[in-house]
Amino acid sequence: MSFPPVVFQIVLLLMVVIAAVYDIRFRRIPNWLVLTGLMLGLGLNTFWFQWRGARASLMGIGLAFLIYFPLYLLRGMGAGDVKLMAAIGAIVGAANWFGIFIVSSLLGGVVAIILLLSRGKLLNSLWNIGFLFQRLLSLKAPYAREELDISSPKSIKLPHGVAIAGGSVIFLATAWIWAPR
């Protein structure tokens, strides 16, 4: 983990807060936002750190796609979430992106459990996870059940942009406290 410059932190915070608001209100993350984040991330890194920064930014984008795009293909994640994480990777680079990914995933998991408990669907969801792994191990599409496909009205959807925003804020707070400056 490294401490990003203040301008990078501001860009990241603005982007993830706007993404979270859009994800809550409209259940989507706008392309103009993630494209702006990608361009600013790549541009700032190149300006601030020259070629080393451009490389870090591109590696952050690549790592985000490597991890999130398969989830999108399996219909477990929306395209906006993939693009948002790529924009975050462009801003903070691969190493910091991985930290944000871990914190966002943990936060999203906790929120998902709370959401499932509140709707009385936790046990059913645990059975679905077992079914999902069984289908994946059989090399079959895991979304054979409607509740496993995010495009289905029967699925329970979590605005993942909110978890990503929360993970980004927690990561920056942690970096502020512990990362060397």
Question: Burial letters for 142-166: b for 16+ Cβ neighbours within 10 Å, e otherwise?
Answer: bbeeebbbbeeeebeebbbbbbbbb
Q: In this predicted model, what pLDDT tens digit does every residue of 44-92 receive, in sequence order?
A: 999 999 999 999 999 999 999 999 999 898 877 889 999 999 999 999 9
**Residue holding tokens 């490389």?**
55
Q: How many CA atoms lie within 13 A of 31 on its CB side?
A: 1
Alpha-carbon separation of residue 63 from 85, 89, 146 (angstroms): 9, 8, 30
Torsion sign (Cα): 17, 18, 22, 25: positive
> Could you tell me the two tokens for 6?
């203040």
pLDDT over 70 for what percent of the chain? 91
Q: In this predicted model, what pLDDT tens digit does every residue of 4-36 receive, in sequence order?
A: 899 999 999 999 999 999 999 999 999 999 999
Look at the pTM and tell me if it is higher than 0.85: yes
**Residue holding tokens 């890194």?**
45
> Could you tell me the two tokens for 160?
């993942």
Question: DSSP 3-state assignment of 51?
Answer: helix
**In the chain, where the domains are located:** 6-119+158-178, 122-155
The pLDDT score that the predictor gives to residue 166 is 97
Beta strand ranges found along 48-138 (DSSP E):
none
DSSP single-letter state for residue 28: S
DSSP single-letter state for residue 77: S
> Could you tell me the two tokens for 157?
């959807």
